[in-house]
Chains A and B, each alone.
Chain A
């Protein structure tokens, strides 16, 4: 290629909103030079659901069930974050046992999400058998959710003021056995993630996000921690996390492999946290009734499997809220994604896009409408 940059012809092609490797509608517009990505633009807003507006119409206790459905995978986190924000407004202190139970369900969500993601990554690079094995082991977590929460996917256990269900002694025993079994099974899959050369060829050195870029663009969750950013909201010690011992998992390299490792080690971390929480859970009340309507403003932050989840609520002294604002981690991770794509091959797109664990449906809070139609 001896042509100068000025005369070079670039191709622009859209990737999404409907694409076999994308489970959710986001549109990335790639400018490519032959197989190499030169530039990338983004377009979101295809499945705006109006959740924030709907939250203003319901009574605040019933919003929990709506917020849970913002994201099917990290539903407990959404309910937890909403409840934490509202508990500040209605001045209730959540009982100690309820805090532990919330942490247990939240970590169960993290396990579910990370195992699902590890499977999806394997699927994106065409490693079907690994995908099946991760999803088979994920069934243990799903069954535990059904056993303890009452529903396979959305257990609906958090309410403002505590939790609705307790984990009894007999069930806790079963819980412990299942966690040990899960760890044994993940151990078996560990050599594939840690040693397999084919897996490494697809991930090592791809989609590098440097520490400075991660910091500047505000990467959150495993995307940031994969680039060496020590940023984990759990360190703030909300709910029972202040009593539990854990270290955030941080990797330095900033490539897809580093992000995979962060999530993979967080699977172990979540198992440890659940076992520790089950061990040290105190006896007592699990729910207190709030005595007044929400008034004033509050924010709450929770570490979701994908990063930092943020809720802002504003009450006006009635049973309806005046404003609810939700920011999900994928919104924060889209700018880092755009920074990590240029310079790589078209064939790397699925793996790199998936490496931020995009959850577009949760992200959509705005729709841009251009004059004269189109978005």
Chain B
């Protein structure tokens, strides 16, 4: 009991270790591999990203000029981000938000 006393007193006044989640957001660290977005102005629909992606989360349709990306299949390996020659895929330290539909379709704007 005597040995436990300092611990008990310290625990009474110290802050909890856990984060109060919905009110306090835990920010990812700078090097974190997070959410991916496509810049369709730069993309030339070369399909490199589709060939590289390990879980096949990207589908490029050169006919319809669209990219279909499934953030829930994506494993955030960033192979596509580092290998896109046009630098059209951007990623950064941000968590992927919840969504209603699984696939996100990007359209290439007309010139």
Contact = CB atoms under 8 A, between A and B. Distances in A.
A146 B76 contact: no
Interface in B69-111: 75-79
A165 B29 CA distance: 15
A66 B54 contact: yes
**B contact face: mostly helix, strand, loop, or mixed:** loop
Contacts of A150: 31-33, 78
Most chain A beta-carbon contacts within 10 A, residue among B76, B77, B79 = B77
B77 A65 contact: yes
Given A65-B75, A146-B28, A156-B77, A151 B33 contact: yes
Interface string A65-94: 110010000000000000000000000000
Contacts of A69: 75
Contacts of A156: 33, 75, 77
Nearest to B17: A136
Interface in B11-54: 17, 28-33, 52, 54
A69 B77 CA distance: 12
Contacts of A62: 52, 54, 79
Nearest to A150: B33
Contacts of B29: 143, 146-147
A11 interface: no
Q: Give the interface residue-count category, chain B.
A: 10 to 19
Contacts, number: 34
Contacts of B32: 146, 150-151
Give the most central of A66, A136, A156: most B CB within 10 Å.
Answer: A156
Contacts of B55: 65
Contacts of A154: 75
- Chain B CB within 10 Å — which of A139, A146, A154 has the most? A146
B38 to A, nearest CB: 20
A212 interface: no
A316 interface: no
Nearest to A69: B75
A367 interface: no
A58 interface: yes
Q: Top 4 A-B pairs ranked by shortest CB distance?
A: A150-B33, A62-B54, A65-B54, A147-B29
Given A62-B52, A151-B32, A156-B77, 14 more contacts: A62-B79, A65-B75, A66-B54, A69-B75, A139-B17, A143-B29, A146-B28, A146-B31, A147-B29, A150-B33, A150-B78, A151-B33, A156-B33, A156-B75
Interface of B: 17, 28-33, 52, 54-55, 75-79
20 contacts: A62-B52, A62-B54, A62-B79, A65-B75, A65-B77, A69-B75, A136-B17, A146-B28, A146-B31, A147-B30, A147-B31, A148-B31, A149-B31, A150-B31, A150-B32, A150-B33, A151-B32, A154-B75, A156-B33, A165-B31
